[in-house]
């Protein structure tokens, strides 16, 4: 798998593309002319990272990602005519079957934008929607899991807008900025009838899950109209 196919959409007046990374582009994650990206504490404070990566580290990460058999990674690019600016990444990890039956398929999602000037513009939320649509419509996943360190309100909101619901909290998962922080765990369920029935198989869905299903159905409908799969 390694890298996901190109998806294009707009966020307000910005043209956004989710597309494969290249080894040559990995230096953008730490480009000093754009503020240093992953070398900044303000960017990595909720990622559990205390070391500033070098370009060699980014190349090693790229090589591991390219060789992964159960992962899809996209770079998040801002497109301006012929210019393409890499600002972050989005991924589905551990794609596969759950349990011995191999019947239920799920993955864990992750996302980050390393250029703070693009925070708060709705790019992360919209990229989540495109990725969720691809995971459910084209990969046939039943569930996507994700987790957010408490305090990272922007990431939690971006997930909730795609239909992720809170499941439980893992306490004391990270020490950052002088305090222990908890990890909130979320899930998003495939709202399409076949997968919804398979997931619940006779159990009664919770009220929160029913509400989230309607939200995710809206995400799927939006993506059908607004995401171009190249």
> How many residues are present in the chain?
230
In sequence order, which residues have a C-beta less than 8 Å from that of residue 147 and are 6 or more positions away?
Answer: 108, 170, 183, 184, 185, 186
Q: Is the pLDDT of residue 115 over 70?
A: yes
* Per-residue model confidence (pLDDT) at position 99: 53
Q: Which of 154, 128, 120 is nearest to 12 (CA)?
A: 120
Q: Is the pLDDT of residue 79 over 90?
A: yes
* Per-residue model confidence (pLDDT) at position 102: 61
Q: Which residue has the higher pLDDT, 33 or 136?
A: 136
Global pTM reads 0.92
């Amino acid at each position: 798998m390694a890298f996901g196919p190109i998806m294009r959409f707009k966020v307000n007046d910005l043209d956004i593309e989710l597309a494969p990374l290249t080894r040559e582009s990995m230096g953008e994650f730490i480009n000093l002319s754009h503020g240093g990206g992953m070398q900044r504490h303000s960017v990595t404070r909720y990622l559990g990272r205390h070391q500033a990566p070098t370009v060699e580290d980014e190349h090693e990460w790229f090589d591991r990602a390219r060789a992964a058999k159960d992962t899809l990674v996209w770079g998040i690019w801002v497109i301006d005519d012929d210019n393409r600016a890499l600002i972050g990444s989005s991924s589905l990890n551990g794609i596969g079957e759950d349990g011995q039956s191999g019947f239920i398929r799920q993955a864990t999602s992750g996302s980050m934008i390393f250029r703070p000037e693009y925070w708060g513009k709705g790019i992360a939320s919209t990229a989540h929607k495109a990725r969720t649509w691809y995971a459910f419509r084209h990969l046939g996943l039943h569930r996507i899991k994700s987790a957010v360190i408490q305090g990272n309100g922007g990431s939690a909101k971006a997930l909730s807008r795609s239909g992720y619901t809170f499941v439980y909290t893992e306490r004391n998962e990270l020490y950052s900025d002088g305090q222990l922080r908890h990890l909130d765990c979320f899930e998003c369920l495939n709202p399409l009838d076949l997968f919804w029935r398979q997931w619940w198989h006779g159990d009664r869905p919770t009220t929160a899950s029913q509400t989230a299903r309607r939200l995710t159905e809206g995400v799927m409908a939006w993506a059908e109209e607004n995401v171009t799969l190249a």
